Amino acid sequence: MNFFSESSYAEGYARRERLLQSVDPRFKLVGTLILIVCIIFVMHVEWILGILGVILLLAVASRVRFSYYLKRVWLFVPLFTAIIVVPAMFNFVVPGQLLLIVLNKGQAIGPLTSPWTIGLTVQGVNAAILFVLRTGAAVSLMVLLALTTPWTDLLASLQSLKVPKAFVMVLGMTYRYVFVLVGIAQEMHFALKSRAISPVTRGQFRSWLGAIIGVLLRRSLETSERVNLAMISRGYDGRVKSITRFHSQPFDWAFLFFLLALGVLLFVVRNLMVI
């Protein structure tokens, strides 16, 4: 049930009349994408930290709960980036000045002897920190965009920017029916658990999990076929329909100009520092 409560709670932020919620979704989407592209080219940690500060200020001005927002971003960013970042910190991937020696040359590890000196480098650690902060800033922007924009309006914005209809349709259907599949999985889990007399063993849990996955696969295929036929019979033409009518206001242009100015500033400063 936490999945549904968290989703409905997140959708509530998009319905509030605050700073980002009042911006036209098309302008928010374009500005966010521009800023993400600029973040990719930033080469200094302090500028990424400044961008993160601006993003947090926008989240606070939009009345997004601080702890809830940080948990949705920074709980997963270090976990998924560690697979890429950790090897890059060592001297055999990124050569440079040694910061911490993990293994000296000739040091024995059981029956094996290390032929090289292995350790963390200053350059590797700096690159790892920059990569994590870049990823965190980009994810923070996308999460803030999703939290402050109704899903149908976001899809309609993608459609207005001439994103292929097939991509918009797949994205919308995935978001809609993931809730259906999660609900089916929860019902099956509760049904199996309520019929268990003794505590569930690890072997029983694995068999249950396999059965749930198999049923979900079959139900998803059946549901996709039925939904496709039902949509075609009702005249679906691939376009996203939204009851919201987009009308640009001076504030929308001012917000887009602010993000553009921030992106240009980052790009200019980067070039000046390289020179």
pLDDT tens digits, residue range 65-112? 777 777 777 777 767 777 778 877 877 777 777 777 776 776 667 676
Domains of the chain by residue range:
1-150+245-275, 164-243
Q: What is the gyration radius of the CA atoms in the chain, in angstroms?
A: 24
**Cα–Cα distance between 141 and 58 in angstroms, integer?**
10
Residues near 267 by Cβ (< 8 Å), separated by ≥ 6? 38, 41
Burial class (CB in 10 A: 0-12, 13-18, 19+), 270: middle
**Cα–Cα distance between 181 and 215 in angstroms, integer?**
10
Torsion 20-26-30-32 (CA) sign: positive
pLDDT for position 3: 45
DSSP state, residue 90: B
**Cα–Cα distance between 168 and 238 in angstroms, integer?**
8
Beta strands in 5-152 (DSSP E): 98-103, 108-109, 112-113, 118-121
Bridge partners, 121 (sequence order): 98
pLDDT for position 4: 45
Q: How many CA atoms lie within 13 A of 89 on its CB side?
A: 19
Summary mean pLDDT of the chain: 76
1, pLDDT greater than 50: no
pLDDT average, residue stretch 239-263:
76
Check: CB of residue 208 under 8 Å from CB of residue 186: no
pLDDT for position 200: 65
Largest distance between two CA atoms of the chain: 73
Torsion 60-63-67-68 (CA) sign: negative
Residue 23, token pair as written in the block: 């911006």
* C-alpha closest to that of 236 among 179, 173, 158, 150: 173
pLDDT for position 190: 75
5, pLDDT greater than 60: no
Residue 164, token pair as written in the block: 């292929």
Range with lowest mean pLDDT among 2-6, 41-45, 102-106: 2-6
